[in-house]
Structure 1
Amino acid sequence: MKSHYDILIIGGGMVGASLAAALIPAGKRLGLSIAVVEAFPLPDEGCLDYQPSYDARATALAYGSRLIYEQIGIWEQLREHLCPITDIHVSDKGRFGAARLNAKDEQVAALGYVVENHWLGRVLLKRLAQEDAGHIDFICPAEVSAVRYQDDWMEVSLASQGLEHQLTAELVVMADGGRSDLREQLGIGYQQQSYQQHAVVTNISPEADHRNVAYERFTDTGPMALLPLEDLPSEAQDQANVSHRFGLVWTVPDDQIEDVLALSDEQFIARIHERFGYRAGQFVKVGERFSYPLKLSVADEQVRRGLVVLGNAAHALHPIAGQGYNLALRGVVALAAELIQAREAGVNLGEMAHLARFAEQVRVDQQKTIGFSDKTMKLFSNANPLLALGRSAGLQLLDVCPLAKTVFARSAMGLDQPTPDLR
């Protein structure tokens, strides 16, 4: 651990680790010193081996995120354990409208990919441990208690292994999640809107192969998404001998969440069929259920002199269309590209002039992505008969109009904007 770093990243999760990995090649060339501070202990070396689990949580990666991870240099390893999405089926319960997207029609290998979080985390940690990442210190477990401004630096107080340390950095990046105490300590407010809904998250198994199809089903109580997961190998299957899995995200009104979580496995599967139908076949097994409240949250300030707020600490959106992590990852590479340019120009990494450019770039992306997510959720949750008829007609029109389908698909895949050069 050094006393001073060029960049200090608070949070070694998927966002913070992705930023550090994105800075490895240019950081080595430019002599950047980087620290990643993570509160939770690293897993033992043996635990870093891939161990498939039926209940593993997963993340949807857009095709544009694949291009980002290719440039960062982890895609070849990451693709060993993920599931491509070749088709997307969108429908509205009780209505005639439906739309289908196909990877071949859009001339891409896949519309997106679903990766288990622990595998993505393992691949990122392995990248940070490689020889060319020697300019990155992973300080773990450690907890940051305060961030203060000095004349030209940021001062960071942290505790590690029972000792208190005072570090300085040109730039502090807060990637410590949506419940960031430091964000509140620094007086960074945020706009928040509750959807009066919870997301129920679990894995559910169809009797037959999922055929790499993802489903988005809009219902009168909220949307439901099914994401295809990598099949379990035989050694990870239980007595039920089930290998196929979907990741389920089911939006449930707040006043129904306790009843839904109290359902038995059989009752839960029956309720899913009542809401979703049988387009993915018969479901035969469901895993442990988790839930969290759904809110739209955006930080009032995402940059200050010497400070950047990134990932869920900067914004949290409805999981509809699975855009949350992809939006955060685009912010990661936009920041990495801006920092590379600043260091090449000999500029202090914490200066507002270049951080403001980054803020404007991500602001446009956030407004578009969050606006689409928010408006889509509200449109498809509205019971007004005229609106319901209009959205069904819109889905049907999208399904039969190749140009509209391509424009929509490219936006959903994150291909409507260039990927920054991180070399």
Structure 2
Amino acid sequence: MSQFDTDLIIAGGGLAGATLALALARAVPSLRVTVVEAFPLSAEALPEDYQPSYDARSTALAWGSRLIFEELGLWRRLSEHATPIRHIHVSDRGRFGATRLNADEHQQDALGYVADNRWMGLCLMRELLDTEVQWQAHTEVVDMTPIAGGVDVALKTADDSHRMTAQCLVVADGGRSGLRERLGFQVRHRSYGQNALIANVSTSESHQFSAFERFTDAGPMALLPHGAANRAGQQSALVWTLTDEMLEEVLALPDADKCRRLQERFGWRLGRFARIGECSHYPLKLSTVDEPVRPGVALVGNAAHALHPVAGQGFNLALRGLMTLVEQFRLAVEQGQSLGDLQVLSRYQQLHRQDWQQTAQFSDSLIRLFGPSLTPLAVARDAGLVGLDLVPGAKRWFARKAMGLGGRRAVIHKPKTGTGEPASHD
């Protein structure tokens, strides 16, 4: 009989927490996993049919993330409402620099995908119903105390409070809950002095499964193909970078004027902007936790790091980190170590840190390079975009970064043969 109430507690059942729970159920079914989340998990709580909403928020999934979801047995269901990105067009507004990426050049069906967050959550919930994962609904983690070999976690519901012991606590509730700060983790923020405005838009011409990254003097803007999975439509997901002053101006405009302002910034590559949906926004900053693990506790996803959305790599980076953590938990079980052993969690941190640093540097360098339009720098970056389009090796490197490939791939299932060493994406 285990001395703990459960083996692992995951604080947060959103995309990161639910994916971690499902991956552990697949890779280490002997583990007792408990997810603590406000949302209930039951067949009755999930709709039978998914009806996409025009205003649904979405996430860009790299090709590498598709490979992970395939390994988890989730992709077949998820792909029903995932719009492929078959072309990426990167340009500098008002200048000649541009580069184009095509899936055919890489012998892939797509460079990436765009999926509604709600649809991804429902797919994860459906899969979790068929596992042994325990789900504590209408509950939140409020505190944690280290104990011998594990942690004692304080839980709170609307009616009462109780405690639960485990080998390890994983904080996967994002960067806004305040749990990581209450646990004493130090977070560093660097503001970009910009905001991201998020909305879905309709254009008079079809996107033809193309994503557009447009750099402007006020910051980057992106349009990602959205809507049907098998038919090129006219709906795109917009990420529009704005200063504080510009954000206030745009939000105060009627929808028709928002479309006109957007037209001025983006241009006519997709024809006329005919509709803009409900707008949401948030300030842009680079957030990091230098030491995201300690004995018995690990931070993952946005609780550990948050990137500028310019390269669309935030969730994809988090997903790769989750698989690295699953890999280390699997090895710990095989070697008889506690999940919360600092040696186990430090291995995870060390392996994920390089990916995090490279991805953060890639995203941050784009912001710096395509920032203020100083003429010498503008000419140099335009030449760089043209060169990127003409030089196969450089273009392949850029494409694999965008596709979430090129780095270490975690082994979350024990290999049947071989050494068990993790593979790399060449």
For 1:146, give the aligned amino acid: D
Other structure's SS at 1:104 match: helix
Other structure's SS at 2:409 match: coil
| Equivalent residue, structure 2, for 1:247 | 237
Distance 1:394 1:322 in 2: 21
| Equivalent residue, structure 2, for 1:238 | none
Contact 1:205/1:283, CA 8 A, preserved across alignment? yes
| Equivalent residue, structure 1, for 2:258 | 268
Distance 1:195 1:330 in 2: 25
| Equivalent residue, structure 2, for 1:148 | 145
Q: Does 1:103 align with 2:93?
A: no
Q: Does 1:125 align with 2:133?
A: no
C-alpha distance after superposition, 1:198-257 (max 9, x if no partner): 1010000012221000000000000000000123999xxxxxxx9631000000011221
For 1:128, give the aligned amino acid: L
| Equivalent residue, structure 2, for 1:59 | 59
Distance 1:145 1:297 in 2: 22
Q: TM-score when scaled to structure 2?
A: 0.93
C-alpha distance after superposition, 1:326-360 (max 9, x if no partner): 00000010000110011011111111112111101
| Equivalent residue, structure 1, for 2:200 | 203
C-alpha distance after superposition, 1:146-182 (max 9, x if no partner): 1111122101111236232210110100001111322
Distance 2:118 2:101 in 1: 28
Where does 1:206-217 land on structure 2 (aligned, <5 Å)? 206-217=203-214
Other structure's SS at 2:330 match: helix
Distance 2:46 2:212 in 1: 36
| Equivalent residue, structure 2, for 1:7 | 8
CA RMSD of aligned residues (A): 1.8
Instruction: Give 1:42 shift.
Output: 4.9
Instruction: Give 1:87 shift.
Output: 0.1
| Equivalent residue, structure 2, for 1:289 | 279
Q: 1:321 to 1:259 in 2, by over 3 A?
A: same
C-alpha distance after superposition, 1:237-290 (max 9, x if no partner): xxxxx9631000000011221111111111111111110100112221110111
| Equivalent residue, structure 1, for 2:315 | 325
Other structure's SS at 1:250 match: strand
* Pairing partner for 1:409 from 399, 403, 416: 399
For 1:268, give the aligned amino acid: K
| Equivalent residue, structure 1, for 2:33 | 34
For 1:47, give the aligned amino acid: P
| Equivalent residue, structure 1, for 2:388 | 398
Q: Does 1:175 align with 2:165?
A: no
Instruction: Give 1:299 shift.
Output: 1.1
Other structure's SS at 1:377 match: helix
For 1:22, give the aligned amino acid: A
Contact 1:158/1:164, CA 8 A, preserved across alignment? yes
For 1:305, give the aligned amino acid: P
Distance 1:69 1:26 in 2: 13
Where do 5+ consecutive residues of structure 1 fail to align?
Answer: 235-241
Contact 1:342/1:349, CA 8 A, preserved across alignment? yes
* Pairing partner for 1:190 from 184, 187, 192: 187
Of 219-228 and 200-209, deviating more is 200-209
Contact 1:20/1:36, CA 8 A, preserved across alignment? yes
Contact 2:292/2:304, CA 8 A, preserved across alignment? yes
| Equivalent residue, structure 1, for 2:50 | 50
Distance 1:49 1:9 in 2: 28
Q: 1:170 to 1:416 in 2, by over 3 A?
A: same
Q: 1:378 to 1:149 in 2, by over 3 A?
A: same
Other structure's SS at 2:202 match: strand
Instruction: Give 1:48 shift.
Output: 5.5
Distance 1:48 1:297 in 2: 38
Which fold has the larger relative contact order, with Cα–Cα distance below 8 Å and residues 6 or more apart in sequence? 1
| Equivalent residue, structure 2, for 1:20 | 21
Distance 1:351 1:330 in 2: 21
Instruction: Give 1:40 shift.
Output: 3.5
For 1:200, give the aligned amino acid: L
Instruction: Give 1:300 shift.
Output: 2.5
Instruction: Give 1:106 shift.
Output: 1.3
Distance 1:371 1:233 in 2: 34
Q: TM-score when scaled to structure 1?
A: 0.94
Where does 1:69-88 land on structure 2 (aligned, <5 Å)? 69-88=69-88
Instruction: Give 1:41 shift.
Output: 4.2
Distance 2:37 2:398 in 1: 37
Instruction: Give 1:383 shift.
Output: 2.1
Q: Does 1:371 align with 2:361?
A: yes
Distance 1:281 1:153 in 2: 58
| Equivalent residue, structure 2, for 1:421 | 411
Of 263-272 and 40-49, deviating more is 40-49
Of 327-336 and 179-188, deviating more is 179-188
Contact 1:42/1:141, CA 8 A, preserved across alignment? no
Instruction: Give 1:382 shift.
Output: 2.1
Q: Calculate percent identity across the aligned residue pairs.
A: 48
| Equivalent residue, structure 2, for 1:237 | none
Other structure's SS at 1:5 match: coil
Distance 1:399 1:196 in 2: 30
C-alpha distance after superposition, 1:301-341 (max 9, x if no partner): 21101110001010011000100000000001000011001
For 1:353, give the aligned amino acid: Q
* Pairing partner for 1:314 from 298, 304, 313: 304
Contact 2:27/2:326, CA 8 A, preserved across alignment? no
